[in-house]
Amino acid sequence: MKEYWSIDRFEEDVAIALNDQGDELQLSTKELPKNCKEGDVLYYDGTSYQIDGKETIDRKDEVLSLLDDLFI
């Protein structure tokens, strides 16, 4: 099973990523895909970090749904 890391924020040339357990990972922006941005969900494929587009969309949709439920 893939371990997912969500980009929480960027601090200079370092990306701070969190996994589902709340563990923090600091990655050099040089290790990331060029178009990586806050909120993207990454996984390590054995050689490099890759963006999982479907997982990113699914998680964003889940958060939006939770926000809708909160304010309805």
**Domain residue limits at 51:** 4-70
Give the pLDDT confidence score for residue 71 in this predicted structure.
84
Give the pLDDT confidence score for residue 56 in this predicted structure.
98
The CATH number of the domain where 56 resides is what? 2.30.30
CA distance linking residue 10 with residue 47, whole number of Å: 22
Greater confidence (71 vs 9) lies with 9
Give the pLDDT confidence score for residue 72 in this predicted structure.
73
Report how many domains make up the chain.
Answer: 1
What pLDDT, in 10s, does the model give residues 13-26?
999 999 999 999 99
DSSP-derived letter for residue 68 is H
Q: Which residue has the tokens 């909120």?
A: 39
What pLDDT, in 10s, does the model give residues 30-71?
999 999 999 999 999 999 999 999 999 999 999 999 999 988
In this structure, which long-range contacts are made by residues 15-19, counting pairs with CB atoms below 8 Å and at least 24 apart in sequence? Answer: 17/42
